[in-house]
Amino acid sequence: MRLNDREDELMIAYQKGDNEALEGIYTLLKPPLYSFVFRYSRDEHLSIDIVQDTFVKLQRHKHDYNPEKGKLKSYLFQIAYRLLITKLNRRKRWKKLLPFLTPVQNDGLHLSDRITIREAIAKLPDTQRAVVLLYYYHELSQDEVAQILAIPKGTVKSRLHVAIKRLREELEGNEYDSGVF
């Protein structure tokens, strides 16, 4: 049996009726969830909506979580990722119907290095981007990433391999262009 994280223990307490434990879960998992959604979508408002909706869903289905099946962190990332994909698909449909009502993305960074890595990640295909973000920034195992994205572990490995190769090419290309090498 695996060791429970702090948030898993809080979730068990919440399932037993301790409503204050939910605040603790929110404090612990809001930052990673928001970071993941923001790095994926680069949309602050969308990221806030997704994090809030994830916690609404957690509250509505609090007894669906089974600590034996995995960490709460993976469970919430799974909910957030599904909500995000649904929302982005809906947004794409609206964009086709009413292009002028679709919010324009606003990137607020000024440091050139950050823009470079942001852009390199943004240029990755959606599926590869999700794998890199979950695996690198949130230190989830390949099994956990596979579970969150509902794909086989082999697919996680291959997407990671291709994504890292693309990132290297993108960043090195950029540095050659800017005269670093």
Partner 1 sequence: MTQESFKEDHHLSAKLEEYHVDIPDFPMKPSRWARFIRFMASPAKDPLEPFISSENGVMMLKFVPIMGVAAITLTHIFIH
Residues near partner 1, by CB under 8 A: 22-23, 26, 30-31, 34-35, 38-39, 44-45, 48-49, 51-53, 55-56, 99-104, 106, 111, 113-114, 116-118, 120-121, 135-137, 139, 142, 157, 160-161, 164, 167-168, 171
Min separation Cβ 114 and partner 1, Å: 5
Integer Cα distance of 51 and 71 in angstroms: 17
Which residue number, 6 or 168, has a Cβ lying nearer to partner 1?
A: 168
Which residue number, 78 or 174, has a Cβ lying nearer to partner 1?
A: 174
Which residue number, 64 or 169, has a Cβ lying nearer to partner 1?
A: 169
Min separation Cβ 116 and partner 1, Å: 7
Which residue number, 15 or 158, has a Cβ lying nearer to partner 1?
A: 158
Tokens 């509902």, located at residue: 150
Which residue type occupies 58?
A: L
Min separation Cβ 81 and partner 1, Å: 17
Question: What sign does the CA torsion over 164, 166, 171, 173 have?
Answer: positive
What are the distances in angstroms from CA 166 to CA 60, 98, 105, 111, 122? 40, 34, 24, 22, 12
Residues 6+ apart with CB under 8 A from 83: 50, 53, 54, 57
